[in-house]
Amino acid sequence: MKKLIKVFIAASLLSISVASTAMAGTWKQGSDGWRWKEDDHTYTASAWKWIDSDKDGMAECYYFNEDGILVTNTMTPDGRTVNEDGAWTEAGIVRLRAANPSVAVEMKKKGAVLYKDADKKSSSLPGQDINADIAMNLYYDWLQIPVIMNMQMKYHDINTPSMEFLSNSTVKTLGMEKVESSFYTGGCYYSNSKDSGKFKMKIGYEDMTKHLTLGGLTGQFWGFLDNVQIAQDQDGNSVMFYTTEADGLEQYLTKFYDKVWPTLSDSDYKITGVTGKAIINPDGYFSKEQILISMTINEDGDTMGLDMSENLDYKNPGQTVAIAFPSTEGFEVVY
């Protein structure tokens, strides 16, 4: 059921993810601080640089100001945090990237196993309490359309006669707001929105499960992972940072969008960047995820840009989920 709201969404890749990696060069210390001298005798300035200083196969990322001086223990102009050594950190974790192909392959394999196992274990849970915050921006010429979404989902006893779920969503765009709620209990599906009114229908739990899980179409995302870093936080969680390979991702996502976003699946679109962060708790379940994707969409000769970001919060995975349902009065029966 993790797949239920794991809608692949997009946002621009962090500028830092495309910073150059130092294959050769030398640290130089002066009275004003440290610099990075390239083999062509120039100094990196106003830029990020991935540098494997200790030659352990994993490079740290450093920012050098307009004078070529390493920035330390502060926030960089693009809003990143660097520690006392000048290394980029996120939530106290030093960001790393493989500095050579063999290490990159090894980390990719480890990331695929970690993500796949967590996805399998989380998806097999009989119940979950999930919150999703989604932000989208559509760009066309001078026009920018922002969309803010929030979705809250609770379910338990998935694919059993006792199955129940409750979903509440809010969408805001261009000064308008749309609020919807739906739930399933007692073998009936209930939907309530201002646009379509209140209705209910009888539906079996097996058919309801198939509808909600979207056929399990997102379960293979681990196969596209790239640029993987795995770290441990102070709470014992495994934290995985990653990007994805773009080749083949459009075809894969088209199957997914056929279910959740038919208009997009019929469009000519190109994934231009994906980055993500997954937090896996000590029990092996996803506890939080951040996914950011950017794409371009071509329609009738016009090109649009679409950036979307999603923050998923899996509350107390593995614990019993209790649901307080709204009243079932006043719903029109449909067949």
Q: Which two tokens stand for residue 151?
A: 């979705």
**Is pLDDT of 11 > 50?**
no
Range 155-163 average pLDDT:
93
| pLDDT value, residue 314 | 94
124 confidence band (pLDDT: 50, 70, 90): confident
CB atoms within 10 A of CB 253: 23
Which residues have a Cβ under 8 Å from the Cβ of 77 and sit 6 or more positions away?
Answer: none
What is the per-residue pLDDT for 223? 81
Which of 49-53, 220-224, 305-309 bottoms out in mean pLDDT, i.e. has the lowest? Answer: 220-224
Least confident of 73-87, 140-154, 164-178, 243-257: 243-257
Q: How buried is residue 240: exposed, middle or buried, by Cβ count under 10 Å (0-12/13-18/19+)?
A: buried
- State residue 270's pLDDT score: 82
Q: Are 36 and 43 in contact (CB under 8 A)?
A: yes
Q: pLDDT digit string (tens) for 258-299? A: 554 555 556 677 888 889 999 999 999 999 999 898 888 887
* 302-315: strand order across its sheet: 225-232, 238-244, 268-280, 286-299, 302-315, 128-140, 143-156, 164-173, 176-185, 188-193, 197-202, 332-333
CB 81 within 8 A of CB 94: no
Q: Which of 97, 64, 115 lies closest to 220, judged by CA? A: 115
SS3 31: coil
Q: What is the pLDDT of residues 33-90, one digit of tens each?
A: 999 999 889 999 999 999 998 889 999 999 999 999 999 999 999 999 999 999 999 9
Where residue 25 falls among pLDDT bands split at 50, 70, 90? confident
- What was the pLDDT predicted at 209? 84
**Alpha-carbon distance 305 to 174, whole Å?**
18
pLDDT (0 to 100) of residue 17: 40
Per-residue model confidence (pLDDT) at position 218: 46
Lowest-confidence pick of 55-69, 92-106, 199-213: 199-213
Lookup: tokens for 39? 């083999």
pLDDT at 326: 94
**Would you state the pLDDT for residue 252?**
65
Q: SS3 of 35, please?
A: strand
Distance (Å, rounded) from C-alpha 103 to C-alpha 209?
41
Bigger pLDDT: 74 vs 303: 74
Residue 117 CA: distances (Å) to CA of 111, 219, 249, 277, 330: 10, 11, 21, 16, 44
Cα separation, 36 vs 252, in Å, equals 41
d(CA 171, CA 185): 25
User: What's 284's DSSP letter?
Assistant: S
Q: What is the pLDDT of residue 4?
A: 38
331's tokens: 């719903």
The confidence band for 2, taking pLDDT boundaries of 50, 70 and 90, is very low
Residue 115 pLDDT more than 50? yes
**pTM of this prediction?**
0.83
Strand order in the sheet with 96-98: 20-21, 47-51, 58-64, 96-98
pLDDT for residue 9 is more than 50: no
Q: Considering the chain, what is the average pLDDT of its residues?
A: 85
Highest mean pLDDT among 83-87, 118-122, 224-228, 266-270: 83-87
pLDDT of residue 105 exceeding 80:
yes
The rounded distance, in Å, linking the Cα atoms of 96 and 51 is 9
Task: Give the model's confidence band at 222: pLDDT under 50 very low, under 70 low, under 90 confident, else very high.
Answer: confident
Span of 123-127, 209-213, 224-228 with lowest mean pLDDT: 209-213
